[in-house]
Amino acid sequence: MTTFDPHHEQASRRLAHPSEPFGKFSSIGKRYDLGGGESLTAIEDVSLNLEKGKLISLLGPSGCGKTTFLRIVAGLESATSGTVEIEGNLISGPHPDFAFVFQQPNLMPWRTVLRNVLFPLEVRGEMNQSGRERALDLLDLVGLAGFESRYPSELSGGMQQRVALCRALVHDAKLLLMDEPFGALDELKRMEMHDLLLSIRERTNVSVLFVTHSISEAIYLSDTVAVFSTRPSTICETIEVTLPYPRQNQMRYGQQFNGYELAASRALGIVR
């Protein structure tokens, strides 16, 4: 096994052994030191494999450690125990091939909408006409055409979150980490975003970890739903969703979908 150097291009291109998963998260634990000898164990022994191009949802109650887990995978937080491997490389810090959509939009208030979306391309030195066109296309797709020159403070929370989504999708990330990205959107927009995410995933083969509270959102989007227990959390059940792609809205009302909802509700302890 090699230690991952995020600034070393060769390292980021190194391929995992064909039988290895794209992402391998092994026995991850996180204990927060609260000071005064107190500590809080947020997650305990979480293991998960993410195959290339697959989407796994992390479903669980508030406070169980979903954001903590995602931040560890992103290299933004260190684990107390366990390892994160992407393509066979140990991850110990942020990586330019990862994209993150946080629970809050975290836009730069001094930049216009378009310049916020273009930021990852600037950082990567990939600013060109096609990148600009992609940014404008994405803004159009999420219903923000005409808002390119506005500033974040002039947008609603849901609109800001859609800008953050465009920013994550503007470059071809290998790993997309999404933390309740559609929580601030109305039902209709959220369903449109589901189809947009799935079509982008199909086109780019990006691998996705998607945190949500919503059982139906998890099922509609996922190849696998990983259900987290209450804190200190582990994965108490994984549900393989075999609904065909492309997913279609009428599937949400079908018997098979309903069966998955029941299985997830049971795993969460909502129904017996």
Ligand X SMILES: Nc1ncnc2c1ncn2[C@@H]1O[C@H](COP(=O)(O)OP(=O)(O)OP(=O)(O)O)[C@@H](O)[C@H]1O
Q: Which residues bind ligand X (CB under 6 A)?
A: 32, 40, 42, 60, 62-68, 213, 231
**DSSP β-bridge partners for residue 235:** 228
Instruction: Fill in the DSSP letter of residue 95.
Output: -
Q: How far is the CB of 219 from ligand X (least distance, A)?
A: 18
- 187 CB burial (10 A radius; 0-12, 13-18, 19+): exposed
Q: Between 41 and 83, whose beta carbon lies closer to ligand X?
A: 41
235 in helix, strand or coil?
Answer: strand
The position carrying tokens 């065909």 is: 244
230 binds Mg ion (CB under 5 A): no
Q: Which of Mg ion, ligand X, none sits in contact with 152, Cβ below 5 to 8 A by type?
A: none
Strands across the sheet containing 38-50: 2-3, 89-90, 81-86, 23-35, 38-50
Nearer to ligand X, 42 or 113 (CB): 42
Structure tokens, 89: 């490389």
**Residue 63 binds which one of Mg ion, ligand X, none, with CB within 5 to 8 A depending on kind?**
ligand X
CB of 62 to ligand X, least distance (A): 3
**Binding at 40: pick from Mg ion, ligand X, none (beta carbon under 5-8 Å per type):** ligand X
Tokens of residue 203, six digits: 């086109």
Give CA 129 to chain center in angstroms.
27
Residue nearest to Mg ion (CB): 67
**Residue from 67, 92, 104, 265 in contact with Mg ion (CB under 5 A):** 67
For residue 58, the minimal CB distance to ligand X (Å) is: 8
Taking the complex as a whole, the smallest distance from the CB of residue 56 to ligand X amounts, in Å, to 15
**Residues 85, 26 contacting (CB under 8 angstroms):** yes
Provide the minimum distance between the beta carbon of 59 and ligand X in the complex, in angstroms, as a whole number: 10
DSSP 8-state secondary structure symbol assigned to residue 243: P
Q: Which residues bind Mg ion (CB under 5 A)?
A: 67
